[in-house]
Chain A
């Protein structure tokens, strides 16, 4: 029991755990965050304020969270998985009932000075809950209908609640992240094929009943950008102009005309990648993509080293979430998918996504630190 609480144990003292953290990986995260700082300085015409300085503080707090999360015993996280998920789900229901409306959607709950976005919490707890669930069942059981019911419920409940806020980006993230964990857990291809077919069949229904008018408008705009050149299509067109005019080597730091003349919308958040590509060109944009790939590569390696299915699935869950952030954001700004409000991880300005990600990387690191710990099948047996 003692090693659960900390102090001494099989894995050693907390200090040993801190030393055991994969610091090269943490350094890599720092490099990516620094790219973000640089761009935020550029957004502010060379000033640290108002964005870069605050982002730096957030990242520092995020690093603290990462270390703390990493050194907490992995079995505690497993024990907390279901209760945490239940709490997040409850909070999502609360948002539905009494949430604050911001940016045209209900996303927050105000706790005095503190503002909680339960959908972010759900990104972590869903990964934990699914990882715990699949950790507890065998490979054969994964593909049995009865055993599939629980994970499907775990995924669809929050997805529907978040979609109602409405927040298409986050619900996509939750759904795809959740289903990729089912995939990694080893669900049979037969089911995958069926699910794919069902998803296709559900598309028109989703279009008709699930998507909000603004979401439909974005998709239509994407399909025919010229039809709305001053509205939503304008953003994508201007983003493409910014990227294209950046060329191979870019216009130079602080020199992006499109960004600095406000042709780019939301350049400190959703369109920060465009600004990077305008100022540093194809070289700069590809470098950032390479750094992201490196993070994902490390993640895969850490997952493969974990002795527990829980650890492996948690790491992959975090990685898939991270990957989805990257893919949705970048393919949006290059005009490959409709406009979806998803930030570029670690680079875009914003506290919530940063905290979620750093918490996630904390879990990833926790798996790494506890890679050799045997995690029992059921949490009950832990306590």
Chain B
């Protein structure tokens, strides 16, 4: 090596050494940085890493079932066949939807919204394409699966109402929670796509019990939010089963018997208050709320003059008409204002001041005693009785029979009806009570209003001879019987009660009674009933002169309401029934035959003689036994 080379070598060595120190320094710096991140800051970053990857997901619990008194499923959960689209698996979303549209119904609007969604969100996020498919449609999607890349058939759970509209007003429905529900209960459960909240009826009333406890899945998600695994699972708890007092066989029978009419039928146990059937016709398909109505369907429901969305059995308020006559008669006997044998002459008219009150029978009934007046539903007799009782006492008795009162019944939306009084009239109209108003109250007209449920309760209290029975719909929730407060006793005089009940018996079971044509005889068990025809329009003087128009001659909405109340068997009664047919014409022609059929069926089945399910027993599907 030359001298010059040696110089170069030395210079190189010095510089290389410097560079090496620099290198060591750089490595040291990186090592120090690693120490800082991995030791000093380790805890902080570990937490952040956990936050990154763990995402709690709510598991929607299975909703509790609703069963009838014998354990028959009224609302249950059913497998729901759905189709979802995972855009990342589809080669061409538009093409796939096009071919899918040949297999299952898929309108253009829906296709557009799916396409929009597919473009706007991460392409592994599934999009619901269709739900509630029939088995046939679902199978077709399965069979054609290989051609439909990205389309996945899935099976979920959805609410199922096997009796559809027959029970719609009792059960209510389930629906997606709206913003108000979510504000009221901020639990993330309410934000789940699958979750449904009780919207009305028993579904709403017992929603918290039916709902169950949500479970949680702590899932591992990647940076894009895709679920890659499950870390921890806390299983939820299915909702409690709810058992009703309803006997669905009778409910279905009554609903079908009333189909086509607008009205209500309430059948109850006169001692326990168990409601065995609570029909409001027409009903609606509760699935509509679960799946969502189309705007056309919704408009049709709202515009329907028969008002299918209103539960008429608790929210329909009607003048009770002549159905209260046996009760007024009993009140008169109790107050001693009339003797059973005392006769009142009915000429068809009763003048009061300048006004004339009419009997429904234009030329009058002649001499009427109490039994005859009830049997023939003579208005003149009851004007007289009402006049003797006075409004104050009538108010007291009508209230004892349960009119004008809310029962804290097990359904939302219960209306109180109305029993007028002097105080009420002065307060609401500012005008004093008029004598004529007392008279028309005595025949169940005027201000008096009652719901079909109240009419059933009134009849039950009349039939049970003194118990202030209250109606109930819930038998048990989960493993607990629904406790009821003790009933008050009305205490009617047994002799008076027998006379009044006998008068009501005559209506149905004696020749000439207004409901004789609708009498019932099931193995000797008979029904006592009372017709009622509630006027919904005012009959003018001019019309009276030319002859009152017959119901058939009037437009539907001006026709009279047809009512009927009944209890059975006449000896040792157990069932009370009220039937109201809106604008049905007359009680004896329209309501009585329906009541007859329902009561006949009731007496044949005699559900109160059979033991209902105990809430402690595990209730499995007993369908068919009912």
User: Which residues of chain A have a CB within 8 Å of any CB of chain B?
Assistant: 138-139, 180, 183-186, 238, 240-248, 257-258, 260-263, 277, 281-282, 285-286, 289, 292-293, 296, 300, 303-304, 307, 309, 312-313, 316, 320, 323, 327, 330-331, 334-336
Residues of B within 8 A of A238 (CB): 52, 223
Closest Cβ of chain B: how far from A139's Cβ, in Å? 5
Give A327 to B26 CA distance when docked, in angstroms.
7
Residues of A within 8 A of B34 (CB): 243, 277, 282, 285-286, 334
B45 in contact (CB, < 8 A): yes
Which segment of B3-11, B297-305, B373-381 sits at the interface? Answer: B3-11
Residues of B within 8 A of A183 (CB): 15, 19
B431 in contact (CB, < 8 A): no
Known A-B contacts A258-B52, A261-B221, A334-B30; A247 and B20 likewise in contact (beta carbons under 8 Å): no
21 contacts between A and B (CB under 8 A): A139-B4, A186-B11, A238-B52, A240-B45, A241-B49, A242-B49, A243-B34, A243-B38, A244-B41, A246-B38, A248-B38, A257-B220, A258-B52, A261-B223, A261-B228, A262-B224, A309-B5, A312-B9, A330-B30, A331-B29, A334-B37
B44 in contact (CB, < 8 A): yes
B617 in contact (CB, < 8 A): no
| In the complex, chain B residues 546-590 whose Cβ is within 8 Å of any chain A Cβ | none
Give A285 to B1 CA distance when docked, in angstroms.
42
Candidates B5, B12, B23; contact of A184 at CB < 8 Å: B12
Candidates A185, A257, A289, A330; contact of B53 at CB < 8 Å: A257
- Whether the Cβ atoms of A261 and B53 lie closer than 8 Å is yes
Residues of B within 8 A of A309 (CB): 5, 8-9, 12
- Whether the Cβ atoms of B31 and A257 lie closer than 8 Å is no
Give A201 to B7 CA distance when docked, in angstroms.
33
Closest Cβ of chain B: how far from A244's Cβ, in Å? 2
* 0 or 1 for each of B198-224: is its CB under 8 Å from A? (1 = yes): 000000000000000000000011111
- Whether the Cβ atoms of B20 and A300 lie closer than 8 Å is yes
Residues of B within 8 A of A303 (CB): 12, 16
B42 in contact (CB, < 8 A): yes
- Whether the Cβ atoms of A289 and B52 lie closer than 8 Å is no
Candidates B12, B13, B39, B228; contact of A247 at CB < 8 Å: B39
| In the complex, chain B residues 12-36 whose Cβ is within 8 Å of any chain A Cβ | 12-13, 15-16, 19-20, 23-24, 26-27, 29-31, 33-35
- Whether the Cβ atoms of B45 and A316 lie closer than 8 Å is no
Give A307 to B6 CA distance when docked, in angstroms.
10
Residues of B within 8 A of A331 (CB): 29-30, 33
- Whether the Cβ atoms of B38 and A241 lie closer than 8 Å is no
B46 in contact (CB, < 8 A): yes
Candidates A247, A258, A263, A304; contact of B42 at CB < 8 Å: A247
- Whether the Cβ atoms of B52 and A261 lie closer than 8 Å is yes
- Whether the Cβ atoms of B12 and A289 lie closer than 8 Å is no
Give A262 to B227 CA distance when docked, in angstroms.
12
B48 in contact (CB, < 8 A): yes
Number of residues on chain B facing chain A (CB within 8 A): 42
Give A334 to B37 CA distance when docked, in angstroms.
8
- Whether the Cβ atoms of B46 and A336 lie closer than 8 Å is no
Residues of B within 8 A of A304 (CB): 13, 16
- A336 to chain B: closest residue by CB: B33
Residues of A within 8 A of B19 (CB): 180, 183-184, 316, 320
Which of A245, A293, A300 counts the most B-chain CB atoms under 10 A from its CB? A245
Residues of B within 8 A of A257 (CB): 49, 52-53, 220
Give A242 to B49 CA distance when docked, in angstroms.
7
Known A-B contacts A139-B7, A257-B53, A334-B30; A243 and B1 likewise in contact (beta carbons under 8 Å): no
Which of A241, A277, A286, A300 counts the most B-chain CB atoms under 10 A from its CB? A241
- Whether the Cβ atoms of A307 and B1 lie closer than 8 Å is yes
- Whether the Cβ atoms of A316 and B16 lie closer than 8 Å is yes
- A334 to chain B: closest residue by CB: B33
Which of B11, B37, B41 counts the most A-chain CB atoms under 10 A from its CB? B37
- Whether the Cβ atoms of B46 and A247 lie closer than 8 Å is yes
What 6 A-B pairs are tightest by C-beta distance, nearest first? A244-B45, A186-B11, A245-B49, A261-B222, A282-B38, A245-B46
Closest Cβ of chain A: how far from B281's Cβ, in Å? 58
Closest Cβ of chain B: how far from A334's Cβ, in Å? 5
Residues of A within 8 A of B12 (CB): 184-186, 303, 309, 312-313
Give A180 to B44 CA distance when docked, in angstroms.
40
- Whether the Cβ atoms of B49 and A293 lie closer than 8 Å is no
- B11 to chain A: closest residue by CB: A186
Residues of A within 8 A of B4 (CB): 138-139
Known A-B contacts A180-B19, A183-B15, A186-B12; A282 and B48 likewise in contact (beta carbons under 8 Å): no
- Whether the Cβ atoms of B33 and A241 lie closer than 8 Å is no
Residues of B within 8 A of A246 (CB): 38, 42
Give A241 to B34 CA distance when docked, in angstroms.
12
Closest Cβ of chain B: how far from A257's Cβ, in Å? 5
Give A248 to B43 CA distance when docked, in angstroms.
11
- A244 to chain B: closest residue by CB: B45
Give A101 to B37 CA distance when docked, in angstroms.
37
Give A282 to B35 CA distance when docked, in angstroms.
7
Residues of A within 8 A of B23 (CB): 293, 296, 323
Closest Cβ of chain A: how far from B227's Cβ, in Å? 10
Candidates B37, B221, B228; contact of A243 at CB < 8 Å: B37
- Whether the Cβ atoms of B38 and A138 lie closer than 8 Å is no
Residues of A within 8 A of B50 (CB): 245
Closest Cβ of chain A: how far from B13's Cβ, in Å? 7
Closest Cβ of chain B: how far from A329's Cβ, in Å? 10
Residues of B within 8 A of A261 (CB): 52-53, 220-223, 228
Closest Cβ of chain B: how far from A34's Cβ, in Å? 21
- A180 to chain B: closest residue by CB: B19
- Whether the Cβ atoms of B16 and A300 lie closer than 8 Å is yes
Residues of A within 8 A of B35 (CB): 282
- Whether the Cβ atoms of B39 and A282 lie closer than 8 Å is yes
Give A296 to B27 CA distance when docked, in angstroms.
11
- B224 to chain A: closest residue by CB: A262
Give A298 to B46 CA distance when docked, in angstroms.
37
Closest Cβ of chain B: how far from A208's Cβ, in Å? 29
- A307 to chain B: closest residue by CB: B1
Closest Cβ of chain B: how far from A142's Cβ, in Å? 9
Give A183 to B19 CA distance when docked, in angstroms.
9
- Whether the Cβ atoms of B16 and A263 lie closer than 8 Å is no
Residues of B within 8 A of A186 (CB): 8, 11-12, 15
Residues of A within 8 A of B15 (CB): 183-184, 186
Closest Cβ of chain A: how far from B123's Cβ, in Å? 15
Closest Cβ of chain A: how far from B590's Cβ, in Å? 71
Contacts beyond the supplied A184-B12, A336-B33: 4 A-B pairs with Cβ under 8 Å: A138-B4, A304-B13, A309-B9, A334-B37
- Whether the Cβ atoms of A245 and B228 lie closer than 8 Å is no
Give A316 to B48 CA distance when docked, in angstroms.
42
- Whether the Cβ atoms of A293 and B8 lie closer than 8 Å is no
Residues of B within 8 A of A292 (CB): 27
Candidates B37, B220, B224; contact of A244 at CB < 8 Å: B37
- Whether the Cβ atoms of B31 and A286 lie closer than 8 Å is yes
Residues of B within 8 A of A180 (CB): 19
- A312 to chain B: closest residue by CB: B12
Known A-B contacts A261-B222, A286-B31; A247 and B52 likewise in contact (beta carbons under 8 Å): no
Give A312 to B26 CA distance when docked, in angstroms.
22
Give A300 to B44 CA distance when docked, in angstroms.
40
Known A-B contacts A180-B19, A261-B222; A248 and B39 likewise in contact (beta carbons under 8 Å): yes
Closest Cβ of chain A: how far from B83's Cβ, in Å? 29
Closest Cβ of chain A: how far from B133's Cβ, in Å? 35
Closest Cβ of chain A: how far from B547's Cβ, in Å? 85
- Whether the Cβ atoms of A139 and B37 lie closer than 8 Å is no
Give A246 to B41 CA distance when docked, in angstroms.
10
Known A-B contacts A186-B15, A245-B49, A261-B53; A138 and B8 likewise in contact (beta carbons under 8 Å): yes
Residues of A within 8 A of B220 (CB): 257, 261
Closest Cβ of chain B: how far from A383's Cβ, in Å? 22
- Whether the Cβ atoms of B8 and A281 lie closer than 8 Å is no
Give A313 to B13 CA distance when docked, in angstroms.
11
- Whether the Cβ atoms of A327 and B30 lie closer than 8 Å is yes
Residues of B within 8 A of A244 (CB): 37-38, 41-42, 44-46, 48-49
